[in-house]
Chain A
Amino acid sequence: MNHLKTVLFIAFIGVTGLATAQTPHDQLIFPEINRFVMPKIETFTLRNGITVFLVEDKELPIIQVDVLVRTGSFRVPAEKAGLTSMVGQVMRTGGSTAYPASVLNPLLENKAASVETSVGFTSASARLNVLKEDFEPVLPVLIDLLRNPLFPQDQIDLAKTQQRSAISRRNDDVSGITNREFRKLIYGVNSVYTRGTEYATIDAVTRDDMVEFHKNGFVGRNMTVSVIGDFNTRDMRRSIERAFTPIPAGTRQSLNLPEIGYEFKAGVHFIAKNDVNQSNILMGHIGGLRNNPDYAALQMMNEILSGGSFSGRLMQEVRTNKGYAYGVGGAYQSGILFPGPFFVSLSTASASTADAIRATIGEIRKMQDAPVSEAEVREARERILNSLVFRYESRADVLNEKVGYAYNGLPEDLFDRYIEDLRKVTVADVQRVAKKYLRPDAMQILVVGNPAEVGNQLAAFGTVNTIDITIPRPAQARAIVRGDADQGRMWATKMATAILPNGAPVNRLSYEGTLNQGGMALQTSTELRFPDALTQTITTPGGLVTISVAAGAGSQSMGPNSQPLPPVFVEIIEKQVAGHYVNVAQTLASTTVTYLGTEDLDGVAAVKLLVEETNTTWYLEPSTALPLRSMSKEFNAMAGMEVESVNLYANWTLADGVMMAYSETNLMNGQVASSQTITRHTSD
């Protein structure tokens, strides 16, 4: 009797789980897992081609509408790269006919609702997320943005400014550089897959381009709409039909992407970045496609190489054993619409760059040279199968998977069939696919690192190709001017004589005066030694500052302290000296001068002369042939953009055979930047 009672008591405790002893992890017995109840998905197609998926989820009072659009940046020619990013942005920021920007932002944000749009490589999307009670008033906003975006010029300008800023910053972040440049090594420099935005491509995008792109893409036959949230399917179906039916059907776009034509070859590439103490490494070659029958074996291979948190071979060896890296990982990627890459990425201290690369390639070779263990395959399979429950953590996960498969034309049981195959993958399969698809002999190795610290380490892997990532400046807009050559010659001679009446060459020109800049009036004493040298002393509140440029180098000093001038300043000063009207006057005979007619300046018909060598236009007073002003447009390295610089001249005074404008004002992009007055000058 007692014995039975004890048994019953223990059984009772076991069932309720109370006051059990601590059990080590490998002795635990788990109960059955609760089942996930698949939600019902209502699917239907509108007359205009829009496919709709609805799933109820009443946990929270929210409704989300996602519109997936069959278009993307792959359709954009290289010379307009960046168009689609901006379309995605301005569709939202510019508002629409019924909801212009000034109305749209407060309307949405006061309700904590959001409507966002974006365009990616192979798809575009619009998303509405709103509290349930605001759904009916805000749904029309989504529809109008899809149908009637305004693309106002001010928002296009803003988007362009932001794109330019992003371009200027794209070399600040090491992983951004590495990912971008590695992609070019795999997919080609000038391919659809690697098209990069540049200043020139941003400049080339017009409002018409954006309108056209939107018109072709955002039509019914390209749209899939999915809705999830707290609603009743029947009511939501009615709302969606009513709202989306007016969208024109349009023409369905294809998602055909060009062949990549990859050629396996080994390569070692280096990009210098001076402000890091770590090498950022990406290495690999082309990967494959999802519809490869070896997909399951390849996923098993990936899992053994770098699956789990720290379980993969790469982490084990390169991080845990050797301490080379904080994170190392990679995979043979099987893309759906186009092949993915095979890659491994890691960061390591500069000094261990070569060792880390060797260790990584070593692990890849090991996958081919020797079969993996039964235990590894078993554990990898366990990891994948046991975490399958996370495939659907929410009803939204179910919906997103279904929509994604439909968009890409994949069969609904694709994932289930993969799991079936995975159960059957053997040790031999893993070695077979490693041998067939991995090419450690033909890896493209890319290192972004500190050249001083990395030194010669990469030579061990082959001839190092250095990649220059300097951001290309926009091509200067040079209008080809057809002018009167004779008139040009005549006026050039007149200008030269006006400035240098004696015709004698000037080697050195010295003058004293006052420089007005930034609200300060500073005494200056300047000596110009043509063609490109200068010494100038400026009396500043802090003391006497001397600037000196000669023979391609420059310095700035105050008292005993002297500092070299950055090359960019030296270049600017040299250009200023060479472009000084006195130097221009004495070199006019050997320059190409084009007469551009006359232009009215404050009632005077100024003569326009273009000096091609310096791309400067001179405006001469017709009776004296002295310059009234000069104008040039240049890419200013400091400003990072094209700048229009204008000099105004007045109070011409003769001394030592040289005419100087005793009043000179400089304007940059129309704003007064500085002015100077001269009190005396000498020359020889």
Chain B
Amino acid sequence: MTQISMKHVILAIAILWIPRSTSAQNLAEFEKNVTQFTLENGLTVIILKRDVAPVASFVTYVGVGGANEPVGQTGIAHIFEHMAFKGTTTIGTSDWEKEKPLLEAVNTSYKAWLREKNRPYADTASVRRLWIAFKAAEEQAKTYVVNNEFSQIIDRAGGVGLNAFTSSDETGYFYSLPQNKAELWFTLEAARFKDPVFREFYVEKDVVKEERRMRTDSNPIGRLIEEFLAVAYSAHPYKNPVIGWPSDIEAVTMDDALAFYSRFYVPSNMIVSIAGDVDPARMRAFAQTYFGDLPKGEPAPALMVKEPPQRGERRFVIEEESQPFFISGYRSVEATHPDAPALEILSDILSSGRTSRLYKRLVEQDKLALEAAGFYGFPGTKYQTLFVAYAVPNQGVSIDSIETAMEEELERVRSQGVTQEELSRSITQRRANLIRSLSSNNGLALSLAQNQSTYGDWRALFRNLNAMTELTPADIQRVAQTYLVKSQRTVGIIQTSGGIND
């Protein structure tokens, strides 16, 4: 048995009540290794020097996502992300002069087929004929394609982790290289965004359809989430799946993608973020050399749609073969709103770790759920977002009992608030997580870009945390009372057909 001395008691109290500050990992220290500047055309560049190993990670972050897509073109941001790997007028082609007209022919014939197919009283024979013509044009265009040349250049140079993502708010492209090959990243990245060619556009759409089948159609949780967002939002494009609705994926053409790219891939809407063993002065020179002549263009259009007020609770039930699931989302606020930090803390108190409210009640004590959590900020955080609470029921447990227990726990927070211990714990964990996150180049590069994009300043990574130390338990209680309100929520349920769920 350990002896608890007075010293330990005092230390314990100190640890509980005072937000822990740790030595080296504060903003002032970190900033010493960061170089930031903006080119004349508006491109923001952030460089973090970190020479632990002779490698570096490179990120291009674009402030465009599913939420910015035109009506009828959902999925286009993600399709363009795929296109960004197809090369340029010099990479990925054996003869651009010959390829160019063939690509135009592919586009024209696809549009002709699409138009005919979607006409009321469409003539089946014509549709078939136009499809065959399109396929023939596609075959022809293939002649000059050098498959995957873009990624092969990177692979051969020893690059790893080549990937990209599209979310509701933004699109990111990244990979890591041996540190002495930084210039390769600049020349390829600049080419790819100055001079993209949408070759194999329609074949790639098949790949995207497979991706949709895999992530959504054939995945019970994928299906639930897609339905959930569509019900939770009425007007705002957060309601649309990033992968796109099937008919939109089909209808998108090369022209649409080009128009989309021209509107949004402008330097003032882009951030370059580099972390690793690089010389910031050299990187700065490269940035000027390779990105300096990116045309400034017009500022990217802002999203004007505001989600109208929700008039009452929304609920839906999917009855199917798979095991039950419960998800609820409460209307809340965007990341830059003053209430956002308190909502983040609330999600920790509800579901971070084994001391969290939902874990203790639903998982451990009542054994209702295999997993129960709440988190702030889905599907994105740039606009009015959702505070989500979900649970995976244990076998034989009804959704009713899950919902009741969840509601009781949320009510406890609303009526009785949270403790200072819980609040301090959340802040300590966030600080520790921040420290732990500083050991990955790729993670750092992404994180700096994301904070720059969301808050307009990469320093938010540290400053947000410091702001949280000003919060009190009363603040947490207040946001629970304000936002976790029945009339402002959407509930989605998977019920096993023929099952026990009431």
Which residues of A line the B interface, CB within 8 A? 16-25, 28, 30-36, 59-62, 93, 98, 105-106, 109-113, 129, 131-133, 137, 140, 157-158, 161-162, 164-169, 172-174, 274-278, 280, 307-311, 315-316, 319-321, 323-326, 347-349, 379, 382-383, 385-390, 392-395, 566-569, 637-641
Residues of B within 8 A of A347 (CB): 210, 213-214, 218
Contacting residue for A164 out of B1, B321, B395, CB 8 A: B395
CB-nearest residue of chain A to B16: A110
Closest 6 CB pairs of A and B: A386-B158, A323-B206, A112-B432, A276-B218, A308-B155, A566-B498
* Contact call A174/B219, Cβ cutoff below 8 A: yes
* Contact call A165/B395, Cβ cutoff below 8 A: yes
* Contact call A309/B162, Cβ cutoff below 8 A: yes
Residues of B within 8 A of A320 (CB): 147-148, 200, 203
Residues of B within 8 A of A319 (CB): 207
* Contact call B395/A275, Cβ cutoff below 8 A: no
B98 contacts partner chain A, Cβ-Cβ < 8 Å? no
Residues of B within 8 A of A28 (CB): 181, 183-184, 187
Minimum CB–CB distance for B93 against chain A, Å: 14
Indicate with 1 or 0, residue by residue over B39-66, a CB within 8 angstroms of chain A CB atoms: 0000000000001111100000000000
Given A28-B183, A105-B353, A308-B152 in contact, is the A390-B210 Cβ separation under 8 Å?
no
Minimum CB–CB distance for B39 against chain A, Å: 14
Minimum CB–CB distance for B17 against chain A, Å: 11
CB-nearest residue of chain B to A386: B158
Residues of B within 8 A of A274 (CB): 321
Q: How far is the CA of A390 from the CA of B162 in the complex (A)?
A: 13
Residues of B within 8 A of A129 (CB): 436
Q: How far is the CA of A162 from the CA of B393 in the complex (A)?
A: 10
* Contact call B211/A326, Cβ cutoff below 8 A: yes
Minimum CB–CB distance for A554 against chain B, Å: 12
Contacts A22-B289, A315-B148 supplied; 15 other A-B pairs, CB < 8 Å:
A16-B285, A19-B285, A34-B54, A60-B438, A61-B25, A62-B435, A98-B2, A111-B15, A161-B394, A173-B220, A309-B163, A325-B210, A382-B156, A383-B158, A638-B500
Q: How far is the CA of A274 from the CA of B154 in the complex (A)?
A: 41
* Contact call A62/B436, Cβ cutoff below 8 A: yes
Q: How far is the CA of A122 from the CA of B148 in the complex (A)?
A: 39
Contacting residue for B217 out of A276, A348, A393, CB 8 A: A276
CB-nearest residue of chain A to B151: A309
Q: How far is the CA of A640 from the CA of B393 in the complex (A)?
A: 12
* Contact call A34/B179, Cβ cutoff below 8 A: yes
B160 contacts partner chain A, Cβ-Cβ < 8 Å? yes
Residues of A within 8 A of B220 (CB): 172-173, 275
Which residues of B line the A interface, CB within 8 A? 1-2, 8, 15-16, 20, 22-25, 51-55, 85, 90-91, 147-148, 151-160, 162-163, 176, 178-181, 183-184, 187-188, 190-191, 200, 203-204, 206-211, 213-214, 217-220, 277, 282, 285-286, 288-290, 320-323, 352-355, 363-364, 367, 370, 392-396, 421, 424-425, 428-429, 431-433, 435-436, 438-439, 441, 497-500
* Contact call A277/B219, Cβ cutoff below 8 A: no
Minimum CB–CB distance for B253 against chain A, Å: 17
Q: How far is the CA of A59 from the CA of B180 in the complex (A)?
A: 22
Sample 20 A-B pairs with CB under 8 A, ordered by A number: A18-B285, A22-B290, A25-B188, A28-B184, A30-B181, A30-B184, A31-B180, A36-B53, A112-B428, A133-B22, A168-B395, A169-B322, A275-B321, A276-B218, A277-B213, A310-B85, A323-B204, A383-B158, A389-B179, A640-B396
Given A23-B187, A638-B499 in contact, is the A109-B355 Cβ separation under 8 Å?
yes
* Contact call B151/A326, Cβ cutoff below 8 A: no
* Contact call B355/A566, Cβ cutoff below 8 A: no
Q: How far is the CA of A637 from the CA of B500 in the complex (A)?
A: 9
* Contact call A19/B209, Cβ cutoff below 8 A: no
* Contact call A24/B433, Cβ cutoff below 8 A: no
* Contact call B154/A309, Cβ cutoff below 8 A: yes
CB-nearest residue of chain A to B286: A17
Minimum CB–CB distance for A273 against chain B, Å: 8
* Contact call B436/A165, Cβ cutoff below 8 A: no
Instruction: Give the residue among B188, B394, B500 with the most A Cβ atoms within 10 A.
Output: B394
Given A109-B429, A158-B364, A308-B151 in contact, is the A174-B218 Cβ separation under 8 Å?
yes
Residues of B within 8 A of A110 (CB): 15-16, 421, 424-425, 428
CB-nearest residue of chain B to A303: B155
* Contact call B52/A394, Cβ cutoff below 8 A: yes
* Contact call B209/A106, Cβ cutoff below 8 A: no
* Contact call B160/A387, Cβ cutoff below 8 A: yes
Minimum CB–CB distance for B468 against chain A, Å: 14
Minimum CB–CB distance for B439 against chain A, Å: 6
Q: How far is the CA of A208 from the CA of B464 in the complex (A)?
A: 49
Q: How far is the CA of A93 from the CA of B365 in the complex (A)?
A: 13
Instruction: Give the residue among A25, A129, A131, A325 with the most B Cβ atoms within 10 A.
Output: A25
Q: How far is the CA of A393 from the CA of B440 in the complex (A)?
A: 9
* Contact call B155/A383, Cβ cutoff below 8 A: yes
Residues of B within 8 A of A113 (CB): 432
Minimum CB–CB distance for A314 against chain B, Å: 12
CB-nearest residue of chain B to A106: B355
Residues of B within 8 A of A17 (CB): 282, 285-286
Minimum CB–CB distance for A13 against chain B, Å: 10
CB-nearest residue of chain A to B425: A110
Instruction: Give the residue among A105, A132, A348 with the most B Cβ atoms within 10 A.
Output: A105
Instruction: Give the residue among A105, A277, A326 with the most B Cβ atoms within 10 A.
Output: A326
